[in-house]
Structure 1
Amino acid sequence: MTRTITSAKLDIAPSSIYYIPDFITPAEEQTLIDKVLTAPKPKWVHLKNRRLQNWGMDHFGSRGIVSDRGMIGEPLPVWLSYLFPRFREAGVFEGMDATHQDPNHCLVNEYLAGQGIMPHKDGPAYLPTVSTVTLSSHCVLEFYKYPEDKEQEERDSTTEETRTQEPEFSLLVQPRSLLVLKEDVYKKYMHGIREITEDDLRKGNILNLPEAMPKGIKETPVLERGTRISLTFRIVQKTLSTKKLFLRR
């Protein structure tokens, strides 16, 4: 039976962070990795610090970003949508939107060891719940309080200035885990991953260390990064089917 996110809430964290270790099995993890790596070459978008795939959209956005106008919706492939019953059982997107019981967008990111992403917010195109399944290797996700003053809020939300600040807290995200961010932590914090090849878990304020510590490890270790693949599922509020788009022309 799938564990519910209400039982996986991190009580010592800002509200609405949920972490479920071993959400999928090693066999399921390998199947997902194989599907990602055998996707058609045109599906990959290559960026400076990672490469990615978009599933569920035929754009209105670029480079993995859905614009405020929304997206042209396409059904997610079966190898991704087969997780939907498990999301429902866990209550991941429960109460979000009566018209969207399941996610309609999945962003696949591949990070090599030493690659990361600047602190950023996911933007207003999505409903305020994001769920991420991690494959192959861990990461430490760092959180920075989003500036509340209007002038700073109008700047680009991915800035070098933010990177020079110390994160307010971090999360250790292990392979096969499910991380769900909702409401306040989604709206009021930026999150990012440092471009380093190993993570010293003795440093920083890692809130879920007891839940995410590798089994059998008694001392807080230094973890070497490998290639990590993340499957980030979200609900885009504004969608237009290709059929409706054709009828408009």
Structure 2
Amino acid sequence: MAVKRKTLHDFFQPADTTRKGHLSNGGDSAALHNPERLFTVPAGLSIIKQFISVDEEQAVLSFLDSQTWRTDLSRRTMHFGGTYCLMPPRNASPEVKKKIEQTIIQAVPMPPQLGFLVDKMVTHGLYSDTQRPAYCIVNEYLPGQGISAHVENFRFDEPVCSLTLAAADSMRFHELERAHDGSVRSGKASSAPRTGRREDVVMDRRSLIVLRGDARSTWQHEIRRASASSKPLGWRRVSLTFRVDRRPGQKGDSMPKLGP
């Protein structure tokens, strides 16, 4: 009998996140005061090296691999909190397109096994304790896999933080002529006007990359699809990208006004 192919919503059912114990900041945890390395280009980009310890990295990877991965994309992914995954029909009206593009598919909440990562980001001053990240997308990259150039959906506030596990890789940034809300699923990323300037940034294993300001809104970022032969046998990188809600009516809105 033919096996029914899973649909998008099959990957957003309640999942068991209770099999592993909660991780703490004690023991051999990486130091909480590793300094941020600030970049001048792209402005607003910073990296915190050794954000977590080797043992914490292994515990997170073991937990993730005990969960159900989403397999309907070219790479395996996992979502906590919610995600934008709906593409409007080509013939949809502008009103319908906007409604669909702003719809979040709810996923299981942030599991306690990842709570210590959020705690560390709060301790580092990346987020406040009253505005903690509620959304996390996990991406697994194998040789030959990547993600196209995009900016994070402007529905989310800043910073956007991404943790690299299992292996190092590089992220390529493309400067835009102006802020452009072209996320991966929006279908707008390829039309974003670029200046032609680009920068490659190395993401070490266990490092946290932080996007604020221009780096978050006026530079696209991508993981290039390098040939399988350019990576060692068994190479695998797992990234966890954390996002935070924009507060309704937030005073001094941190996100830029979009150009024409």
In structure 2, the residue matched to 1:247 is: none
Partner of residue 47 from structure 1, selected from 73, 82, 87: 73
Local SS of the residue matching 1:179: strand
CA deviation string 1:63-120 (max 9, x = no partner)? 7xx94244647531011112122111111124xxx851x1000000001112111101
Match of 1:158 among 169, 186, 189: 189
Matched, 1:145 2:175: yes
Structure 1 unaligned blocks of 5 or more: 200-221, 240-249
Within 5 A, what are the aligned runs for 1:1-249?
A: 1-3=31-33, 7-40=35-68, 43-48=69-74, 50-57=75-82, 61-62=84-85, 67-70=101-104, 72=106, 74-94=108-128, 99-100=130-131, 102-148=132-178, 156-159=187-190, 168-197=198-227, 224=232, 226-237=235-246
Identify which of structures 1 and 2 has the higher relative contact order when contacts are C-alpha pairs closer than 8 Å and 6+ apart: 1
Q: Distance in 2 between matches of 1:198 and 1:24?
A: 28
Deviations 1:166-214 (A, max 9, x none): 6611110011111111121101010001111479xxxxxxxxxxxxxxx
Task: Give the TM-score of the pair, scaled to structure 2.
Answer: 0.66
> 2:80·2:107 contact (CA, 8 Å) conserved in 1?
no
For structure 2, the residue ranges without an aligned partner over 5 or more in a row are 1-30, 87-99, 249-260
User: Distance in 2 between the 1:169 and 1:86 partners?
Assistant: 28
Letter in 1 for 2:117: L
> Is the CA contact 1:136–1:227 (under 8 Å) kept in the aligned structure 2?
yes
Residue pair 1:76, 1:105 contacting (<8 A) in 2 also: yes
Q: TM-score, normalised by structure 1?
A: 0.69
User: How many residues end up aligned between the 2 structures?
Assistant: 201
Structure 2: distance between partners of 1:23 and 1:149: 29
- The sequence identity of aligned pairs, in percent, is 25
